A and B are shown apart, each in its own frame.
Chain A
Amino acid sequence: MQGIHNAEARIAIRGESDVARAIVQARRMSQAAAFQTVDQSRIATTVSELARNILKYAGQGEVILRGCVGATRRGMEIIAEDSGPGIADTDSALSDHYSSGGTLGLGLPGVQRMMDEFALESEPGAGTRVTVRKWL
């Protein structure tokens, strides 16, 4: 029994304490998967950024953490989804200057830099889903 490739955790995000729980869970899973400490921090910080975006822009949503398996490697996948207002212009949401000023932005370019794979799906009025992966 090693690794986390079968593990999955779903955390409903409705308040700050849920964000904290998601971060703790992400740390636990990334540790169990034997990520290096710097990558453990990147994973935990990513979960924090994404979960806080859910609270701030959608009010509530869900964070899913799970192990993932690629052709030659293993890793961890994080999905953050909500049924909030969505993002009308996803291209600008991913450009650095859209988020200058720290808390005012979505922090998505930063999440993209911290992770190996990044996908943003959003439809105005329907919601947003961010899927990221970090490989070992």
Chain B
Amino acid sequence: MNNEAGADSIPVQLMRGCLVASIQVDLTEQVLKRFRQELLERIGSARVHGVVLDVSGVDVMDSADFETLKTTMSMASVMGASPVIVGLKPGIVSALVDLDVDTRGVRAALNLDDALEWLGAAESSTATADPAVIRDTHARHP
């Protein structure tokens, strides 16, 4: 296997005012940490309002990978870019549920179109309903 710098990098494209990251590589701590740094720098320089993490090319995600991605998503959010994760495979989802990871606050969409549509709507209106956010059901709305 080729180990030179960039071989495991995650491509990030600008689409409709959002950054879209297509994650197609095997996830390791190193890959995910480098990706986080690159993504946050791009958010800062491109002034985007949304970030889509497309994980449809990922076959295995363990609890550590998920936590690292979730932290990256909250960092993006603190910078002002709404994060959405798309393309989680059924096998990954069932493993993550078995692992009892905390998915609260993670916004998910089935595909890239849905994610970009939601981010576009959220940008143009502050009153948009937000049905896909996984929330602690006791935390809000009396």
Q: Which residues of A does B touch, CB under 8 Å?
A: 16-17, 19-20, 23-24, 27, 37-42, 44-45, 48-49, 52, 96, 102-103, 107, 109-111, 113-114
Whether B42 sits at the interface, judged by CB under 8 Å, is no
Chain A nearest CB, measured from B5 CB (Å) = 15
With a CB–CB cut-off of 8 A, which chain A residues contact B89? 41
Secondary structure at the B interface, as helix, strand, loop or mixed, is helix
Q: Given A102-B67, A113-B98, A37 and B91 touching (CB < 8 A)?
A: yes
Chain B residues within 8 Å of chain A by Cβ, number:
25
In the assembled complex, the Cα of A96 lies from the Cα of B99 at a distance in Å of: 9
With a CB–CB cut-off of 8 A, which chain A residues contact B62? 45, 48-49, 52, 107
In the assembled complex, the Cα of A37 lies from the Cα of B90 at a distance in Å of: 9
With a CB–CB cut-off of 8 A, which chain A residues contact B98? 42, 110, 113-114
Please determine whether A52 and B99 come into contact, CB atoms closer than 8 angstroms: no
Contact code string B17-35 (vs A, CB < 8 Å = 1, else 0): 0000000001011100000
5 smallest CB-CB distances across A and B, nearest first, come from: A41-B91, A110-B99, A48-B62, A45-B95, A102-B67
